[in-house]
Structures are given as C-alpha cells and as structure tokens.
Structure 1
Amino acid sequence: MSSTHEHGFGVDIGGSGVKGAPVDLATGKLVGERVRIPTPQPSTPEAVAGAVAEILDSFGWTGSFGCTFPAVVQHGITRTAANVDASWVDCDAASVLRTVTGRDATVVNDADAAGVAEVEFGAAGAASGVVLLATLGTGIGTALISHGHLVPNTELGHVELDGHDAETRAADSAREREGLSWKEWGGRLTRYFRHVENLLWPDLIVVGGGVSKKFDKWSPHVSTRTPMVPAKLRNEAGIIGAALLARG
C-alpha cells in the first residue's frame, strides 16, 4: 500500500507499545485494524525503529509516515525521553527511522499529535481560537493549537505550581498514588487549569487520557472559566494526528 492524497499512515510510540495504521485523511478514520507491537526492551532507537518497520510492512505501506514520540521533538530530533531508553535524548529520530524503515518519517510529540487530531476530527472540531489539549495520565501532556496552527512542545504539565512540578500533583497517577477522591483531585485540577488559563486564556480545554472516560465523575469538581470537554478519539488520536502532521 502506498500513500495517496486520501490516505496517510500514523505510528504511535509509547513506553509499553508501538501501534499504527493507515488513516483516511478526509474522515480521520483508521483504514483497517491497527497493529500493536510491545515496545522492545531495551527501547533503543534502532530497536523501536525495527518495530515501526514491522508495522509498516504488515500493511505493505511504502510511502512516508508520521510518528509520535513521548518527548520534546525539534525538527525530527528527540530532546527528551519519557518512559523509553535514555539513548533517545538528542537522537536524530527522523534519520534513524528513515534508515531502518526505508521511508521518510515526520516525528512529532505525542500530545501534539493528539491535539491536532482532536481539533480536526474530535472534541474540538467546532472550536475556534485557542484550544488546549491536556492528557491526564502518568504525567500531564499538553498541546496548544491557535486558530488551527500547532504551537509544538508546550510541556505545560511541567509548569511550577505551589513549589511543585504540576504533573506530580495533578496527573491521574497522583490521584491514584495518594488515594484522592474525585472531589480532592478536582480541587487540584482546578488549581492547575486556572494557572494555565491565566497564562494562555484558551477558548476550549479538551481533556484526554484514560481518565477522560470518567469525565462525568470528576469534572463537576473542577471549576474553570474555560469550557472543558472530554477527548473523543481516545487511543486512536496519536495515530490520526501523526498521519495528519506528516501530510504537512
């Protein structure tokens, strides 16, 4: 299968799994069932790129593709590494993927890809202005889209809040680790989101991550001036966003 004007290909690299599928760029739907491979251990760039190649080959995909990564990504270079091998830091990931897979790769931050997908096809589709996506999981990943344009690598989960790295207090992992009730956690999220609101004044906040499925349980305990909605695309958002960003 080669790339076309209608179809792209997205790969989503995570600490536990690498998954990918062709994407219909007009509808945002996956073309067939996605393929998932456990992230190799150790998760070195060459080993992970090999898993990406396996996924591409399984679909017979011969064209360029988009690939998410849990890191700050500048012009194809991964500057950080979250839940993957430290050898990714300052790695020319786009070059490694191109060498191993034999295909051109566009490498992007995973939250950025999810944010672009939610704006194009998900919960933020009808929004205009500034949209903030925040994924609440092990940490807090963020994506900022201004009038349809991505501002990459915002990393707003790491703003300092009350003397702490914000995600250590307000991520879903903090709720689980400390046994917080939905109300208690909602208070922390209120503190976090109000701080971010005062910095950016977004028009819409989209909340992703696994806890978005329980939006009705905790959102009544969060007070923001900005409308807040749960993400819609869930685990497919990274794949879809990667394919969209590879299109250019």
Structure 2
Amino acid sequence: MENSQVIGIDLGGTAIKLGRFSQDGSCLQSLTVATPQPATPEAVLAVMVDAIAQVDPDNQTIAIGVGTPGPADATGRIAQIAINLPGWLNIPLADWLETKTGKPTIIENDANCAGVAEAWLGAGSQFRNFMMLTLGTGVGGAIILDGNLFVGHQGAAGELGLITLQPDGPMCKSGNPGSLEQYTSVQAIRRMTGCEPIELGMRAQSGDVKALEFWQEYGRYLGIGLTSLIYVLTPQAIVIGGGVSASFEFFYPAVKAEIEKRVMPTSRAGLQILPAQLGNSAGMVGAAKLAWRKAGGQGAGGRGQGDKE
C-alpha cells in the first residue's frame, strides 16, 4: 500500500469537500462542490460519485472515508440521522458508495473526523487522551481515549455540545433545552447578539469593549460546560475547533478561569486547552485517516483510531 491513495469526504449542509490523500496525510488533490438542495440522500450520492470521479480520474484510490453531519452506527456503515439534511434517517451510505465506486467505504460523524484529524496531524498529535469541541453552526465533539476514537456501544458517543448547561434554556434540536450548543454555537451567538462571530471577533480585535465583554461571557458558558466533561474524562487536553475558534484568544482566558474555579486540581492536572490546527480541512483529513484504517483491513475495529504509531 506504499504508493496507494484514499479519498476523504466532508459532507456539509452547504458544501461537500473532497480530497485525495497519500498515506502520510498529504492532500494530492482537493475539490469543493455545492451540496444539492434539497440535500436528499439520493441527490447527495449522485453529486458525491461525480465529485469522486473528478478527484480520482485515474482510479488510483483504494478506499473512501466520509464525515457526515450526524451520528453513524457502530459499524461505520449507516448515517443514522443528519438534522440539517432532509430525509436522512438510517441511510446505508457506505453500501451505496461501495456499490457505485467499488471501493471499501467507512462513514463517521464529522466532528469525530475532525478529532481523528487533529489526533493524526494536528493539535492532538502529542496526546493519548483528549477531547475536541467543534464550535460551528452546532457544537460537535470527539473523544480520543488511549489514542482511539471513543464512539460508545451504538456509535453515537461524543455529542459533547448536547450536554445540559441551563435546564430551562432555549430549546435544542436534540430535544434537550439549554444544551451547551444553545450558548456556544454560531446560531446561539446570532440569537444572543444579532451579529456574526467573525464580526464580533474583528470588533474585539480593535478593542471594542462590548465585543470583549461578549467573548468573556461566551468563555464563561463554555468553561462551565467543559467543567462537566473534564470531571468525567480528565483529559490531557481539550482542542477547540470550528469557525468560532477564530476568536479563541478572546474567550480562552474566561474558559481557563472558570475551569480553575470549578474543577478540583486533581481532575485538571496538566490540562491544556488548545486551538485546533487543521481548520476547515479537518473533516476530510479525518475521513481520509478512517479510509486508511478501512483499507488496512481493520474494519469497524479500527474506526477512528488516533494513530500514534
């Protein structure tokens, strides 16, 4: 498999990002295409198959990994649900792609893919135990334990953004009112401020007092949510990714202060809180890593391993 290549795909509500990767994680060719609207499973499959042919015109790849915006089943075969994609309920996407392309395929939650990517080539590469939060339209998460992605017995573990922060807070699509996502996602920021996160970041950069105060309050909410997760997992590190992480420098001090106030020293000894390093490419990089695991014959057992070899 020395000169082999795989395809990593990041399926989003507005765009599908694909890359052809070598075994060391180098992206040899990439492509971004619009997600069809409405994004029905059949329409998305057709666009994916066409895009795969463009990224791999000479049919050099040996496996495919796909990150989807929702949980996959424990075998990495079925997209169980995707809240922002219509008609996505227990879709056998891996089977469909294998039939169309003839290549072994594995699927995974997109935040888990980002966590796998950061474990492989990014901010988590020096840790055996860490968790990642992706602060975007929603708030996703990934848990790496002893170098392996933890997915739980049904495959849906790691929904870190759906833990309860305020029991009587705004309703979440998950059905859990007041979830962490309702205070730390892009949509939450828009609801609370009427502004885009990037605008608030630029204003904070220029010294705007109200923007700086907002990020301090934002960091407080995030720190409170992380407190619960730290007590359960006692990770070596927490990696923060997603679009909102562009303002990491403005909310990090409040996150750190809240954790130090609420978490016993024994549960946070040596804890590092770090911004993610791979940006918007993390989803397809992690999907490619899963494809390498699939190609190596590990099947579901190798699902999402952080690869510290």
The correspondence of residues 101-140 of structure 1 with structure 2, limited to 5 A, is: 101-128=101-128, 130-140=129-139
Render the CA deviation track for 1:4-29: whole Å, top value 9, x for unaligned.
65532101100001110111221x22
User: Residues of 2 paired with 1:42 and 1:103: CA distance?
Assistant: 27
Q: Is 1:149 the equivalent of 2:153?
A: no
Residue in 1 that maps onto 2:80: 79
Residue in 1 that maps onto 2:26: 29
Equivalent AA in structure 2 for residue 45 of structure 1: P
Q: Number of matched residues?
A: 242
Render the CA deviation track for 1:39-93: whole Å, top value 9, x for unaligned.
01121111111111112111224532111101110121111212111x2111111
Q: Contact conserved, 1:49 with 1:101, CA < 8 A, in 2?
A: no
1:117, CA displacement in angstroms?
Answer: 0.7
* Among 221, 231, 238, the residue aligned to 1:198: 231
Residue in 1 that maps onto 2:62: 63
Q: Is 1:8 the equivalent of 2:41?
A: no
Residue in 2 that maps onto 1:175: 189
* Among 230, 240, 244, the residue aligned to 2:285: 240
Equivalent AA in structure 2 for residue 170 of structure 1: T
Are the structure 2 counterparts of residues 218 and 120 from structure 1 closer, same or farther at C-alpha, using a change threshold of 3 Å? Answer: same
Render the CA deviation track for 1:146-184: whole Å, top value 9, x for unaligned.
111111231121112221222112223312320271011
Helix, strand or coil at the partner of 1:111: helix
**Structure 2 spans left out of the alignment, 5+ residues:** 168-177, 194-210, 260-267, 294-309
If each structure's strand is expressed as a fraction of its own residues, which one has the higher value?
1
Are the structure 2 counterparts of residues 72 and 103 from structure 1 closer, same or farther at C-alpha, using a change threshold of 3 Å? Answer: same
Q: Contact conserved, 1:68 with 1:109, CA < 8 A, in 2?
A: yes
Equivalent AA in structure 2 for residue 84 of structure 1: L
Helix, strand or coil at the partner of 2:123: coil
1:106, CA displacement in angstroms?
Answer: 0.9
Are the structure 2 counterparts of residues 233 and 6 from structure 1 closer, same or farther at C-alpha, using a change threshold of 3 Å? Answer: farther
**Structure 1 spans left out of the alignment, 5+ residues:** none
1:102, CA displacement in angstroms?
Answer: 4.0
Residue in 2 that maps onto 1:89: 89
User: Residues of 2 paired with 1:121 and 1:110: CA distance?
Assistant: 16
Q: Mean alpha-carbon deviation: is it higher for 54-63 or for 88-97? A: 54-63
Helix, strand or coil at the partner of 1:168: helix
1:104, CA displacement in angstroms?
Answer: 2.8
Helix, strand or coil at the partner of 2:62: coil
> How large is the Cα RMSD of the aligned pairs?
1.7
Helix, strand or coil at the partner of 2:28: coil
Equivalent AA in structure 2 for residue 56 of structure 1: I
Helix, strand or coil at the partner of 1:220: helix
User: Residues of 2 paired with 1:232 and 1:68: CA distance?
Assistant: 18
The correspondence of residues 211-222 of structure 1 with structure 2, limited to 5 A, is: 211-222=244-255
Helix, strand or coil at the partner of 2:81: coil
Residue in 1 that maps onto 2:39: 43
TM-score using structure 2 length: 0.74
Equivalent AA in structure 2 for residue 96 of structure 1: W
Residue in 2 that maps onto 1:161: 165
User: Residues of 1 paired with 2:164 and 2:215: CA distance?
Assistant: 23
Q: Contact conserved, 1:13 with 1:67, CA < 8 A, in 2?
A: yes
Larger Rg: 2
User: Residues of 2 paired with 1:88 and 1:95: CA distance?
Assistant: 15
